[in-house]
Amino acid sequence: MLRRLLRTAVRKPHPVLPSQRRSIVSQKDEMPQLSPQSARAIERLRQYQSPETVWPTMPLSRKAAVLILLFAQPDGELRCVITMRASTLSSYSGQAALPGGKAEEGESAFECARREAEEEIGLSQHRALPPPFKVEHLCEMPTNLAKTELVVRPCVAFLHSFDPETGLDGNVSEKLLPRLDAREVAAVFSAPFRNFLYMEDLPEQSNLPGKPSDWYKGSWTDWHQSQWRMHNFFVPVTNQVVTKPKKTEGQKATADRLDKYSRYRVFGMTARILVDAARFAYEQEPTFEHNSHFGDEDMITRLRRVGRLSDIRKPGDELTKEDLRKAANL
């Protein structure tokens, strides 16, 4: 997928070259080895067994999945792939998101997330990636509830090269070119995965814009009839290559707006999913305040019992405080 993102080492910024390549091509390149800390995080995710989930039993109209795609940067630390949604989309337009979308008939959550990632950023799902390159499905995290009444299953995957004879990660990888769908994606960038546990930029990074404290802002709000921590992360983009589709009239406003920022804001459900995934992977609680539970499995079950999240999903459906109050009181 990410020729440039795989090379997102801290370095001097340079002009971003747009890409609308229609296929994934390969070229041998050195791929960083995982640091011991990153290797342990990947192994914990690989061994994770998700609790029983409501996702398979939900109506198709309510099911969605997203892909937390991890890869190693040159120092062996993990980064995750994030997109900026196109301004023309009907929901969450112009916001940061993980690759993903609504499920289709017969799909598992991981199949859904991979299909959407192929459509949005060109990460091939059915066509084999050039050997020894592979995407490994590590685990699925507990299902989350979106305000738009979708139930969203986070699927974690690792993008790495693999030697089938020795079973060990190799130091040769393929550079993969993104194929961005301008109707859905305005930009693709990456963020340091472990940083979603901290209130400031990790100190080992260089060439960062602003102050380390610019990384995080948080506040408490009412949601699900209880206090919920709203996370806002501001990911530096001046020290990495941000891939964008070729500008069209429909996308020009969004692209021009993004060009003005040295950091992209990641917030809402996307931020919460990344915090929870990092909490488990690194076996560490964040340095900021947060909700302790993972996912929204219990609330989704309660909402179904009060008649919400039915088979028919109407445009503009959105959960109200009254819906959540009824569900919480069961």
182 in Cβ contact with 89 (< 8 Å): no
**Residue stretches of the chain with pLDDT short of 70:** 1-32, 87-93, 128-132, 161-183, 223-225, 247-256, 316
Which pLDDT score, from 0 to 100, does residue 30 have?
Answer: 44
Q: What is the rounded CA–CA span in Å between residue 66 and residue 116?
A: 8
Which pLDDT score, from 0 to 100, does residue 182 have?
Answer: 62
DSSP 121-144: H---SSSPPSTTEEEEEEEEPPPE
Q: What is the rounded CA–CA span in Å between residue 274 and residue 287?
A: 14
What DSSP state is assigned to residue 212? G
pLDDT tens by residue, 181-199:
666 788 889 999 999 999 9
Which pLDDT score, from 0 to 100, does residue 54 have?
Answer: 96
Q: What is the rounded CA–CA span in Å between residue 288 and residue 271?
A: 13
User: Domain total for the chain?
Assistant: 1
pLDDT tens by residue, 128-180:
666 657 899 999 999 999 988 899 999 999 987 544 443 434 332 334 545 65
> Which SS3 state, helix, strand or coil, does residue 46 take?
helix
Residue matched to tokens 């260089």: 206
DSSP 49-80: -PPP-SGGGS-GGGEEEEEEEEEE-TTS-EEE
Which pLDDT score, from 0 to 100, does residue 287 have?
Answer: 98
DSSP 147-174: TTS-EEEEEEEEEEE--TTT-S--SEEE
Which pLDDT score, from 0 to 100, does residue 252 have?
Answer: 58
Domain boundaries, position 66: 5-328
Read off the CATH number of the domain in which 155 is found: 3.90.79.10
